Amino acid sequence: MGPDVSLLKRIIGSLVVAAGTLAFFANWSTVPGGYTIDALSNVLNALCIAQTDADGYGRFLPTDFRAFNDHRPPLLIYLLALSSFLHPLTVETALFIGMCLGWYGLGLLFLFRSHFPLSSIRHGFFYPLLFVTLLCSS
């Protein structure tokens, strides 16, 4: 019998993801270059929230964050603010936390999709939990 094509696709996909993650860690400041500005904005808002309970514009515990004429993910910023009490918050740690949350959310997506198809779910908390997890990632 020939090799299992589905297994081969998963192995190749996993290797591509692992190579991309390693390339990301190879040089924090330039890979990917465009996200550093976004991470810096998230760090600034998270530090403002952690120290003053207000964002960079002085709004008290906002539910939306603005930066560079764009909107930032509020759950990620609040998680970064909480993590600033455990570890000094830098652009690198913000990128790392955002990437870990993104991988975690994608892992949950694939887990729920393969084990709990939408038509078989009887409990309404699976997909909302997944949605909230994906909202936390950058």
- Give the pLDDT confidence of 75-105 residue by residue, as tens digits: 888 999 999 899 899 888 888 888 888 787 7
Kindly report the pTM of this predicted structure. 0.67
- Classify 72 as helix, strand or coil: strand
64/86 Cα distance (integer angstroms):
24
Between CA 98 and CA 116 the distance in angstroms is 26
Instruction: Check residue 81 and give its pLDDT.
Output: 92
pLDDT in tens, the chain (138 residues): 556 777 888 888 888 888 877 877 776 666 556 556 678 888 888 999 999 989 888 889 888 887 777 778 888 889 999 998 998 998 888 888 888 887 877 777 777 667 666 666 555 666 677 677 666 655
| Vertex 69: Cα angle to 63 and 74 (nearest 5) | 20
Burial (CB count <10 Å: 0-12, 13-18, 19+), residue 56 = middle
The four Cα atoms 4, 23, 32, 7 give a dihedral, to 10 degrees, of 10
Measuring CA to CA, which residue among 17, 27, 13 is closest to residue 95? 27
Tokens at residue 68, please? 């560079």
